[in-house]
Amino acid sequence: MDTTLTIIGGGVIGLAIAEELSLHFPELFLLERHSSFGQETSSRNSEVIHAGIYYPEGSLKARFCVEGNILLYEYCRKFDIPHSKCGKLIIASTQGEVAILENIKRSALKNGVNLEVIERERLSIMEPEVSAIKALLSPTTGIVDSHSLMKRFETNTINNGGNVVYKCEVIAVKKINDGYEVHVKNADNTTFSFTTNFLINCAGLEADKISEMVGIKDEKLRIVFCKGDYYKVRSTINKKIKRLIYPVPHPNMEGIGVHLTIDMAGGVRLGPDVEYLKTNIYDYRLSGNKKEAFFQSAKKFLPSLRFDDISPDMAGIRPKIQKPGEPQKDFYIKEESSRGLKGFINLVGMESPGLTSCIAIAKYVKSLIGNNA
Residues 6+ apart with CB under 8 A from 322: 224, 252, 254, 328, 329, 349
The predicted pLDDT at position 57 comes to 96
- Confidence bin at 257 (pLDDT 50/70/90): low
- Is the pLDDT confidence value at 155 over 90? yes
Is residue 147 exposed (0-12), middle (13-18) or buried (19+ Cβ within 10 Å)? middle
pLDDT tens-digit map of 104-134: 999 999 999 999 999 999 999 999 999 999 9
- Is the pLDDT confidence value at 47 over 90? yes
pLDDT tens-digit map of 198-232: 999 999 999 999 999 999 999 999 999 999 999 99
Least confident of 162-166, 250-254, 348-352: 250-254
Cα gap 294→268, rounded to integer Å: 14
The predicted pLDDT at position 313 comes to 95
* The 3-state secondary structure of 136-167, one letter per residue: EEECCCEEECHHHHHHHHHHHHHHCCCEEECC
The predicted pLDDT at position 172 comes to 98
The predicted pLDDT at position 287 comes to 77
312 pairs with which residues across the strands? 231
The predicted pLDDT at position 370 comes to 82
- Confidence bin at 258 (pLDDT 50/70/90): confident
Cα gap 176→174, rounded to integer Å: 6
- Is the pLDDT confidence value at 371 over 70? no
pTM as predicted: 0.96
The predicted pLDDT at position 252 comes to 53
SS3 345: strand
The predicted pLDDT at position 235 comes to 76
The predicted pLDDT at position 276 comes to 96
The predicted pLDDT at position 372 comes to 61
Tell me how crowded residue 186 is: count the other CB atoms within 10 A of its CB: 12
- Is the pLDDT confidence value at 253 over 70? no
Looking at every residue in the chain, the average pLDDT score rounds to 95
More confident: 65 or 26? 65
